[in-house]
Amino acid sequence: MPTIAYLGPPGSFSEAAALKVPLPDKTLVDYPTIPDVLEAADLGHTTFAIIPIENAIEGSVNLAMDWLIHEVRLMIFAEIVLPIAHGLYVAPPQRETPFPQIEKIFSHGQAIAQSFRFLRRTFPHAQVEPTLSTSEALRLVAENPDRPWAALGHRRGAERYGLVERIRDVQDSPNNATRFLLVGHTPPAGLPPSERKKTTLLVTLGRDFPGALSQVLHCFSWRAINLSRIESRPTKRRLGSYVFYIDIDRGVDDVLIPAAMEELRALGHEVRFLGSYPVYEVDDD
Ligand SMILES: O=C(O)C(=O)Cc1ccccc1
């Protein structure tokens, strides 16, 4: 049975995304950090890993992107788009603690960023402290019931740790969603067909010259290859040098995408193929 590494402990959004991977039999294994999750799959401790890569409000999850780009050699096999709603949870003894007396609010940096307006307005005096995951924050609050603390996280995660909901839907946009990637070394058998597909490439400019990026984009545009996302991340070799993470809004074909990659290489750019994969938009139920 395939195993999927995810950012734990149980009750995280990553777990909710992993549960939605459309493979009939799977076992989930939790790890404490995103690098640990990716390394588990890279070293073969698990068959796959699932990582959050981009959020509708906060944008890229840089740690996940950078580890995927630089530290492991994994391919992308599927994308799961999960709606994200955060609630504010407290331990049972704090169910009536007035908001101005809540001293600390814990959560993952992404969840804090996705709820920043709410936190500033409703808890201007609270100390906001980042944790490795939202479920880690929920657990911390549950383990310290006598402290006037709260956590932002997933409703089902909060139920698992016996917490009480004080406010629901605190994220700064009702359409909040996160893209998760399923990555591994060997493609899964039996993923169902999807309406949408994507292809992801990493392009590093060979050398910098006026119009270098425009040249790269031109290789796609004249072939009518539509890009749905382009992000630059540091190459980490020196300041000011970037790798472009490029999503194409369709699956790889026999002619146009391979030709674009060949042309980019002939022009002296580095190209890495990260995968061509189905996109599943799921409900969080
Ligand atoms: O901390 C979690 O629960 C995660 O899985 C990371 C995350 C945090 C906030 C939104 C989406 C993913």
Question: pLDDT > 90: what percent of the chain?
Answer: 90
Which mutation among 61, 173, 178, 182 tests ligand 1's pocket best, with the greatest number of atoms within 8 A of CB? 178
For ligand 1, say whether the CB of 131 is within 6 Å of any of its atoms: no
The pLDDT tens digits of the residues spanning 36-71 come to: 999 999 999 999 999 999 999 889 999 999 999 999
CA distance linking residue 230 with residue 199, whole number of Å? 12
For ligand 1, say whether the CB of 133 is within 6 Å of any of its atoms: yes
- The whole-model pTM stands at 0.95
Contact 137, 131 (CB under 8 A): yes
ipTM of this complex: 0.96
Ligand 1 center from residue 12 Cα (angstroms): 6
DSSP string, 40-93: HHHTTSSSEEEEEEEETTTEE-HHHHHIIIII---EEEEEEEEE---EEEE-GG
Q: Please, what are the domains in the chain?
A: 3-84+176-184 (3.40.190.10), 87-167 (3.40.190.10), 196-281 (3.30.70.260)
With tokens 């993952």, the residue in question is 108
For ligand 1, say whether the CB of 14 is within 6 Å of any of its atoms: yes
> Backbone phi, then psi, for 40, in 5-degree steps?
-55, -45
Contact 107, 118 (CB under 8 A): no
